[in-house]
């Protein structure tokens, strides 16, 4: 199998996004808790953010015309891959402290790996993005590793 991973493509490994800073509000926590049908009072009152709250906190807000066909914004961190069909490959989230209203959080994303494997129907490209979320004292709050598969 010839490699789909050019030197130019591989040079993107280690690329890091600009820091993205957001404030956590009690209202946003409550809206997320209600939308996810949370049953715990600490989430419904907005005193503490539920697991996965951080995911949408850092999404770009863009016009519909700037979304890909599957409804996500174009990720400027990623290079142009030779394979286009994207699938979920895994998500690992480590939580280091509780998120509370009033917290200012900063997320930085790093393209940490690109590799190729042979699948039954042909070549697959895997890539991994690590997002570190820190508080204003630069303490790690969450580390999230997302793996995507392209075919």
pLDDT at 13: 97
What would the mean pLDDT of 53-77 be, rounded to a whole number?
85
Is residue 2 in some structural domain?
Answer: no
State the Cα–Cα distance between residues 35 and 42, nearest whole angstrom: 15
Residue 92 Cα distances to 30, 122, 143, 144, angstroms: 24, 26, 8, 6
Residues in the chain: 151
Q: What pLDDT sits at residue 2? A: 61
Q: What is the pLDDT of residue 40?
A: 97
For residue 25, what pLDDT band results from cuts at 50, 70 and 90? very high
Q: Report residue 97 as tokens.
A: 């402290």
User: pTM of the full predicted structure?
Assistant: 0.89
Please give the C-alpha separations between residue 36 and each of 31, 33, 46, 69, 96, in angstroms, as whole numbers.
9, 5, 13, 25, 22
The answer for residues whose C-beta is within 8 angstroms of residue 144's C-beta and 6 or more apart is 54, 91, 92, 93, 94, 130, 131, 133
- What residues make up the domain containing 30? 7-150
> Is residue 51 situated within a structural domain?
yes
CATH number for the domain harbouring residue 82: 3.10.129.10
Express as a percent the part of the chain with pLDDT over 70. 99
Residue 1 lies in a domain: no
- 94-148: per-residue pLDDT in tens? 999 999 999 999 999 999 999 999 988 899 999 999 999 999 999 999 999 999 9
What domain count does the chain have? Answer: 1
State the pLDDT confidence band at 59, using cuts at 50, 70 and 90: confident
Distance CA 74, CA 62 (A): 10
Mean pLDDT score across all residues of the chain: 94
């Amino acid at each position: 199998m010839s490699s789909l991973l050019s030197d130019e493509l591989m040079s993107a490994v280690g690329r890091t996004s600009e820091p993205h800073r957001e404030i956590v509000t009690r209202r946003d926590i409550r809206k997320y808790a209600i939308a996810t049908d949370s049953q715990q009072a600490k989430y419904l009152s907005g005193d503490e953010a539920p697991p996965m709250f951080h995911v949408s906190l850092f999404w770009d807000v863009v016009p519909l015309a700037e979304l890909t066909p599957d409804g996500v914004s174009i990720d400027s961190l990623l290079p142009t891959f030779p394979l286009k069909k994207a699938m979920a490959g895994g998500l690992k989230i480590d939580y280091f402290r509780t998120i509370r209203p009033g917290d200012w959080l900063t997320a930085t994303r790093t393209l940490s790996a690109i590799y190729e494997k042979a699948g039954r129907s042909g070549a697959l490209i895997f890539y991994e993005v690590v997002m570190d979320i820190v508080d204003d004292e630069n303490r790690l709050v969450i580390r999230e590793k997302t793996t995507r598969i392209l075919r």
